[in-house]
Amino acid sequence: MITKSITNVVHSAQGGVLQFNFMQGNMLKNMLAGDIMLNLFDTPRLDMAIANIFLRQLDDSGIVRVTPLLFHNDQLVTYKNAQDEIIWQTTAPDFTAFVTLSFSHEQEETYYYSVRVENHSAQALRYDLIYGQDLSLSDAGATKTNESYCSQYLDHKVFSLDKYGYTVSSRQNLPQSTGNPLLQLGSFSPAVGFSTDGYQFFAKQYKFSHLPTIVTEPSLENRNYQYEMAYVALQLQPVTLSAGDSADSVFYGFYLSHQPEANIAQAFDVARIRANYRQPQREPATEQASPTQQGYDQRPLSGDKLTAEEIEQLFDGEKQFVEQLDGELLSFFYQEANYVTLAEKERHLERPTGHIISSGNNIDFTNPIMNSTHYIYGVFNSHLTLGNTSFNKLLGVNRNMLNQFKSSGQRILVQIGGEYRILAMPSAYEVGANFSRWIYKLAEGMIQVRAFASQSEPVIQLDIAVSGHSQPLNVIVSHQLIMGNLEEEATVQVERHGDLLQISRTGDDHGPRFSIATRGGFTGVERYVDSDSQGVQYLLLQGQIAQQASIAFGGVLNGVDSRGKWLDFEHERQAYHAQYRALLNDFSVSFSAAPQQAQKLNHAMHWFTHNALTHYSSPHGLEQPAGAAWGTRDVSQGPIEFFMAMGRYQQVEAILCQTYRHQYLETGTWPQWFMFDEYAQVQQQESHGDIVVWPLKALADYLLATDRVALLDTRLSYTSIKQNFAFTGEQETLLQHVQRQIDHIVAHLVPGTYLSSYGDGDWDDTLQPANQSLRENMVSGWTIPLTLQTLKTLTKALQAYPQFADFIARIVTLTSNMEADYHKYLIKDGVISGFIHFNQGEAEYLLHPTDTTTQIKYRLLPAKRSIISESFDKEMAEQHMKIIMDNLMYPDGVRLMDRMAEYKAGKQTYFKRAELSANLGREIGLQYCHAHIRFIEALCKMGMAQELYDNLFKTIPVGIQESVPNAELRQANSYFSSSDAKFDDRYQAYNNFDQLKTGAVAAKAGWRIYSSGPGIYINQIVSNVLGVRYQAGDLLLDPVISRQFGDVTLNYQLYNLPVTLRIYPQQGEFTPKRVLLDGQSLAFTLQDNPYRSGAALIHRQEIEGRLTAHSQLEIYL
């Protein structure tokens, strides 16, 4: 085993509070101001910083050559001057350029990059300079938790100044430890161009070219794009130097630790910033060094385009939901809903195609589960974890969606033409439930890489297969080891024990221990060890592959040992597929009049099951690598509803008991989120006002469906705030937990009413209250009908049992009083209010037609929840459904409000994130798919079959353009949590939102996988659309089927027997008129529904004894 030493931080450059840390060769690692990280990405040791100054040589035809002057430059030497300032010197054939980093010596916290260019050619030199800088302006911990999230709240204000051209002020609107940090970037020379996001500067093509757009584009976009990779770039006016002449230019960054209220209205005085600048000296005071990147040449290698014949050979079978653009094949599904993306599609995607695999023991959240995240562009494994997905990482996270840092996770370098090149964009990329496959067609032959997970135990294996090569292929497989939460935190030890490499963390006796096993040609091991801690940061495996070689990850956690185990792919694939079939009760649906729509649902059920299990057992997503916790609200919905719909009551009981253990002894409520494993004390104590309701709703739904009231006698611990969130030794029955829960609800009613106070918010996280008065005296129009629904369900479930009589009497009284105040206060002029704010005895209506403050007239959540909870009468339900259709319905789905909260550069008045986010993504853009799915539930409640048909497929990524014509291309197998209008910023969206309604503006896919939405959607399909659910063990049939579907055939299990259900929308589109089992009529009673005729209830004893395997159940509507 060969060991090489590396150093993370060699030295720092400081000025006032500013501290820039550099690695070997003066490679920028990070830019700090105390705890605040100015830049967005902490540069990995074997990569290069993405901030840079570019010199572009120009002639009459355009760009001749682009030279980066700080990093990524083979002609570079670097040294320090007598003032201890860092200088980077580039000596090119035509010029020499010096870049010096210096700081202000006055009170202002300012840094300067001084650029001197000397023309030593015999010809005139024409050039321009572009400075690009990634930005976070967030606490370092927050930055590394999620760079995209930090970028969403970074407001960029662009000024055009008379003498200095474009100047950009960037303010972090989310409060940090110092307040709201601000950085103004500008130049002392006129800047004629700017951009504000890395997706502009580097663009989607970077995934192929690995070059920024400025190599080919004459100018920056001069467009403020508020997206997810904050990167401010400034382009200076071109300069022409005569032979022998020189010129100086200066870029500056002016930092404030806190800019109160909002971003600045006018730029800080550049003349004053300039007055504090001192011309640097360029004479070297230290030895010149040429920066060399440690490790291997990372010149990326992409696969060639596959022919149609090769595609057929590689992906045998019928192709479904084929996507093409201008005759070019982009993607398709085949076989068991496997999804294949060709490289061409990736040219059109901002969000790169990715996948998360988990070992198949993830139906039980208490099992140690192994996870890994994959990306199309050669991230073969990353964020590989055993157990907790935050603290138990073996491999690092892919932090940059354009693949700019190529040492993250697990990567493969292959020797082609005598040099090692890193595998990047493949010819094709395939994902299945438990695997990814990358296919590289090269001139020298084919390389196929497959990463897959075991169905039964925590093992993930990587297979590398080569074919068509004239000789064995030399490979290096690199691994970025972190063994903790963040890179470079833990001291990682790697030891060889026989055929295994054992990996552990110094000083950790309780966390996981990992192993790596190899076979098929790996012979060498190389460790890159930190020179200070002696911890291993990178592990390289070297070998030669003639046909196939493999690497297997195993580990030890909680008594489960999977080290040294090998897998067979075909066995694991079949086992995983069988597990999904069993979990989904053999679900398969067909529509006689809409076969394609049925196949969409079948594919969605498959992939949403994958997404739902990820959310439940190992909470994280492609855009949200940090997680590892259950949101109290989320786990009470997605996982509970998924397992309830599938009749997996054992899992439901386990979730309920684990959730109630996290109830606070002192308050009776819950944390906003909590970890559920050995890190159970990690949680967020403050929670929104609706959080206390959700565990009770989940419990009430379970009791009503199963009639298993004995669960209420289960004795459970609490969590104690005073004991640092430890579980208490004291235990009480689940019923006593519920009584404490009710006590909290009663104690937090707005004084003088029976309406719950808003607290720290409700379901819409963007509408968290901005001040204490709103927390205590505001009422959510959504939380109240949710609470009423929960209390009524609990009453219905327990009212037949005498032992609960006193408790139910209390619930009935609370329900009656709350319902009276709901109608008295929340509904004004026949329209439910989004909020009411009680101020000195007066009710102020917000998000209501009478609201002149926010200008928002309608809010979706109170209206749809009032329908679902049956709090409206029939007339009001119909009236509000019309309001929704007229004011909130858009081509890509129903929106949360008729207009978004007005954005004023981060100024906060009523709500936090709604007024702080500069980006239009997630809930900010108002189409949060979770809410659209709940709208489907409301449509089912009212029996609106045609509207249900029109909206059912808008949140399914499979073939989405059929349902959403203005939908942009996206990964077609992955749940997206929001549909985001394609506007550059909040101002553009606020003034032009009607263009989205007409379809003139495109809709983009939001963050993927990590959401309760997939589980909720599956429940809607089974329980409300197809209408199969249970009540006290009896069967309820309540389909809502549009005639556009035609006759419906559903293969599904009832009472653990495979049955074929046939649903015929004949007389109507809801409510069974006749039910036959194997040709014989079944007796049923219709249930109450205030909006239409209701479900058919068939007593268990009426059907169960007559069911056989493959029975036919016919339902005539």
In this predicted model, what pLDDT tens digit does every residue of 352-379 receive, in sequence order?
A: 999 999 998 899 999 999 999 999 999 9
Residue 1020 in domain? no
Contact 857, 847 (CB under 8 A): yes
* Cβ within 8 Å of residue 431, ≥6 positions away: 338, 339, 353, 355, 374, 437, 973
151 & 186 share domain: yes
Beta-bridge mates of residue 515: 502, 554
Residue 89 in domain? yes
Q: Counting every residue, how long is the chain? A: 1117
Tokens describing residue 99: 């870049």
Q: Give dist(CA 594, CA 1045) in Å, integer.
A: 5
Beta-bridge mates of residue 1074: 1116
**Residue 269: DSSP 8-state:** -
The distance from CA 960 to its chain's CA centroid, rounded to whole angstroms, is: 20
Q: What is the mean pLDDT of the segment spanning 1095-1112?
A: 95
29 & 92 share domain: yes
- From 765, 898, 980, 1034, the catalytic residue: 765
Cβ atoms within 10 Å, residue 61: 6
State the SS3 of 374-401: EECCCEEEEEEEECCCCCCEEECCCCCC
Q: Give dist(CA 149, CA 672) in Å, integer.
A: 18
Helix (H) or strand (E) holding 890: strand 889-890
Q: Give dist(CA 44, CA 48) in Å, integer.
A: 7
512 & 450 share domain: yes
Residue 564 in domain? yes
In this predicted model, what pLDDT tens digit does every residue of 929-958 receive, in sequence order?
A: 999 999 999 999 999 999 999 999 999 999
Sign of CA dihedral 620, 624, 630, 632: negative
Q: Give dist(CA 900, CA 659) in Å, integer.
A: 34
Contact 458, 518 (CB under 8 A): no
Among residues 853, 874, 895, the one where a domain terminates is: 874
Q: Is the pLDDT of residue 439 over 90?
A: yes
787 & 856 share domain: yes
In this predicted model, what pLDDT tens digit does every residue of 731-785 receive, in sequence order?
A: 999 999 999 999 999 999 999 999 999 887 787 777 776 666 677 788 999 999 9
Residue 597 in domain? no
256 & 338 share domain: no
pLDDT value at residue 204:
96
Active site residue 765: yes
The end-to-end CA distance of the chain, in Å, is 72
* Cβ within 8 Å of residue 998, ≥6 positions away: none
Kindly state the percentage of the chain with pLDDT values over 90. Answer: 89
pLDDT value at residue 298:
64
The structural domain count of the chain equals 5
260 & 334 share domain: no
Q: Give dist(CA 915, CA 132) in Å, integer.
A: 28
pLDDT value at residue 292:
56
Q: What is the mean pLDDT of the segment spanning 232-237?
A: 98
Q: How confident is the model at residue 680 (pLDDT cuts 50, 70, 90)?
A: very high
Contact 828, 834 (CB under 8 A): no
Mean pLDDT across the chain, nearest whole number?
95
pLDDT value at residue 293:
52
Q: Give dist(CA 125, CA 122) in Å, integer.
A: 9
pLDDT value at residue 295:
44
Residue 280 in domain? no
In this predicted model, what pLDDT tens digit does every residue of 968-993 receive, in sequence order?
A: 999 999 999 999 999 999 999 999 99
What secondary structure does DSSP assign to 733-787, as a single string? EHHHHHHHHHHHHHHTBPTTSSSB--BT--S-GGG-BSSHHHHHHEEETTHHHHH
809 & 728 share domain: no
Report how many helices (DSSP H) and strands (DSSP E) the chain contains, helices first: 27, 66
Sign of CA dihedral 723, 726, 732, 736: positive
Q: Strand 419-423 vs strand 428-432: parallel, antiparallel, or unpaired?
A: unpaired
234 & 185 share domain: yes
Residue 618 in domain? no
Q: Is the pLDDT of residue 287 over 50?
A: yes
Q: Give dist(CA 382, CA 389) in Å, integer.
A: 11
Q: Is the pLDDT of residue 550 over 90?
A: yes
Q: Is the pLDDT of residue 499 over 90?
A: no
150 & 22 share domain: yes
Tokens describing residue 229: 């990779």
With H, G, I as helix, E, B as strand and everything else as coil, classify residue 143: helix
Specify the CATH number for the domain of residue 499.
Answer: 2.70.98.40
Q: What is the mean pLDDT of the segment spanning 664-669?
A: 97
In this predicted model, what pLDDT tens digit does every residue of 1040-1053 receive, in sequence order?
A: 999 999 999 999 99
* pTM of the shown model: 0.96
Among residues 874, 909, 933, the one where a domain terminates is: 874
Q: Give dist(CA 923, CA 931) in Å, integer.
A: 10
For the CA atoms of 85, 88, 89, 92, the dihedral, rounded to the nearest 10 degrees, stands at -160
Q: How confident is the model at residue 474 (pLDDT cuts 50, 70, 90)?
A: very high
Amino acid at 955: T
pLDDT value at residue 299:
84
In this predicted model, what pLDDT tens digit does every residue of 165-216 receive, in sequence order?
A: 999 999 999 999 999 999 999 999 999 999 999 999 999 999 999 999 998 9
Residue 165 in domain? yes
Among residues 234, 258, 275, the one where a domain terminates is: 275
Phi-psi region of 198 (alpha: psi -120 to 50; beta: other; left: phi over 0): alpha
Half-sphere exposure of 232 (CA within 13 A, CB side): 28
Q: Give dist(CA 455, CA 434) in Å, integer.
A: 8
pLDDT value at residue 294:
46
Kindly state the percentage of the chain with pLDDT values over 70. Answer: 99
456 & 574 share domain: yes
Amino acid at 722: K
Specify the CATH number for the domain of residue 1030.
Answer: 2.60.420.10
Q: Give dist(CA 1084, CA 1079) in Å, integer.
A: 15
Q: How confident is the model at residue 648 (pLDDT cuts 50, 70, 90)?
A: very high
Residue 115 in domain? yes
Q: What is the mean pLDDT of the segment spanning 272-280?
A: 93
Residues spanned by the domain of 640: 628-744
666 & 793 share domain: no
Q: Give dist(CA 537, CA 480) in Å, integer.
A: 6
Nearest to 433 by CA among 459, 407, 451: 451
Q: Is the pLDDT of residue 73 over 70?
A: yes
- 604-634 burial code (b ≥16 CB/10 A, e <16): bbbbbbbbbbbbbbbbbbbbbbbbbbbbbbb
Q: How confident is the model at residue 296 (pLDDT cuts 50, 70, 90)?
A: very low
Q: Give dist(CA 15, CA 404) in Å, integer.
A: 29
Q: Strand 1057-1064 vs strand 1111-1116: parallel, antiparallel, or unpaired?
A: parallel
482 & 572 share domain: yes
